[in-house]
Structure 1
Amino acid sequence: MPALSPQIAPYSRSGHPVPSSATLRLCVNDSSLSRLDLLRFLERAQEREVERQRGIRTRPPTPEWLIELGLNRHAAPVYVHVGECWNAGKRSRGISRDQARRAPADGVKACPQCQPDRALGMLD
Structure 2
Amino acid sequence: MYDLPPDLDRLHTLRTWHAMWLDRIDQAIKAAEQQEREARQAHERRAAAPPPPPSWMIGVHQLSNTPEEVHVGGCIMWAHRRRKTVTREEARRLLADGLRACQFCKPDAELGLLE
TM-score relative to the length of structure 1:
0.51
Deviates more, 1:61-70 or 1:94-103: 61-70
- Structure showing greater radius of gyration is 2
Alpha-carbon displacement from aligned partner over 1:55-82 (angstroms, at most 9, x marks no partner): 236854321000111122x353111000
The equivalent residue for 1:61 is: 52
Q: Distance in 2 between matches of 1:115 and 1:123?
A: 10
Residue 112 (structure 1) aligned with residue 109 (structure 2): no
Quickly say closer, same or farther: Cα 1:57–1:106, change in 2 above 3 A.
Answer: farther
Q: Distance in 2 between matches of 1:56 and 1:96?
A: 26
What SS does the aligned partner of 1:68 have? Answer: strand
**1:95 positional shift:** 0.6
Match of 2:73 among 64, 80, 83: 83
Equivalent residue letter for 1:87: M
TM-score relative to the length of structure 2:
0.54
Q: Distance in 1 between matches of 2:85 and 2:76?
A: 14
| Matched-pair identity in % | 37
Choose between structure 1 and 2: higher helix proportion: 2
Q: Extract unaligned runs of 5+ from structure 2.
A: 1-39
**1:93 positional shift:** 1.4
Q: Extract unaligned runs of 5+ from structure 1.
A: 1-48
C-alpha RMSD over aligned residues? 2.9
Runs of 4+ in 1 over 4 A off after TM superposition: 49-52, 57-60
Q: Distance in 2 between matches of 1:77 and 1:70?
A: 6
